[in-house]
Amino acid sequence: MTLPVFFFYIFSGIAIASAVMVISSRNPVHSVLFLILAFINAAGIFMLAGAEFLAMILIIVYVGAVMVLFLFVVMMLDVDFADFKRGALQYMPVGVIVGVILLIELLMVAGSTFVSPELAAGSAMPINNAVSNTQALGEVLYTRYVFLFQGAGLILLVAMIGAIVLTLHHRKGVKRQDIGEQVARNPKTAIKVVKVKSGEGL
């Protein structure tokens, strides 16, 4: 067994164990920490495959920003996840059906290489060793898959706006800035002249 193969088994084993702990941990903070560990090991696998750009993206973007943000949100909100899990069993049949469909799709994608290897070979991009990994990835994303790349960005944007709209709750009694009211002000409404009698002032 060579050294890269040994490290591949180490990284993949820890990543699979961390993924299992993410969905099995009762404490949400522990789940986020295990997810960070899974991302770090996935970055190690990318480094072994020669995709250093994707490895750095996993560390900097997902671990350094997204997962840390999730961790702070979970810790600050102090959400009682026991209430969320009480009614989760009623959605178990739907979850099993979706999981079986995803498993069948993954098996079809993985088995297509053995069933029709000529199709898999035709869809693969040729490797150009003259350019760096980052440049090659950018050329593929912004030429061959540019519409899919922009569509994925649009879906993420819609999901972000939907999450903000669903979680934004206006509390009563909180003073907020009203741009229209500020622009519509005039000297008559902005200044109030009060005549104070002698001896009754501050």
50 near 133, Cβ under 8 Å? yes
- Residue 161 belongs to a domain: yes
Token pair of 38 as six digits = 């899974």
The 10s digit of each residue's pLDDT in 64-77 is: 777 777 777 766 66
67 near 35, Cβ under 8 Å? yes
Helix (H, G, I), strand (E, B) or coil at 198: coil
Residue 112's contacts (CB-CB under 8 Å, 6 or more residues apart) are 119, 120
45 near 8, Cβ under 8 Å? yes
- Residue 103 belongs to a domain: no
Q: Which of 71-85, 98-112, 130-144, 178-192 has the weakest average pLDDT? A: 71-85
- Residue 140 belongs to a domain: yes
What is the chain's Cα-based Rg? 27
Residue 167 vs residues 83, 164, 170, 178: alpha-carbon distances, Å = 18, 5, 10, 21
- Residue 142 belongs to a domain: yes
* DSSP 8-state secondary structure symbol assigned to residue 197: P
- Residue 159 belongs to a domain: yes
Between CA 100 and CA 82 the distance in angstroms is 27
Q: What is the mean pLDDT of residues 12-40?
A: 86
Residue 131's contacts (CB-CB under 8 Å, 6 or more residues apart) are 139
pLDDT band for position 122 (50/70/90)? low
Q: What is the pTM of this model?
A: 0.56
Other Cβ atoms closer than 10 A to 11:
19
The structural domain count of the chain equals 1
Domain that holds residue 136: 131-168
The 10s digit of each residue's pLDDT in 30-61 is: 888 888 889 889 999 988 888 888 888 888 88
Helix (H, G, I), strand (E, B) or coil at 139: helix
Whole-number pLDDT of residue 125: 59
Residue 192 vs residues 178, 188, 195, 198: alpha-carbon distances, Å = 20, 7, 10, 19
- Residue 117 belongs to a domain: no
- Residue 138 belongs to a domain: yes
pLDDT band for position 101 (50/70/90)? very high
Identity at 115, one-letter amino acid code: V
Whole-number pLDDT of residue 178: 76
- Residue 74 belongs to a domain: no
pLDDT band for position 14 (50/70/90)? very high
Token pair of 128 as six digits = 């150009």
Whole-number pLDDT of residue 154: 92
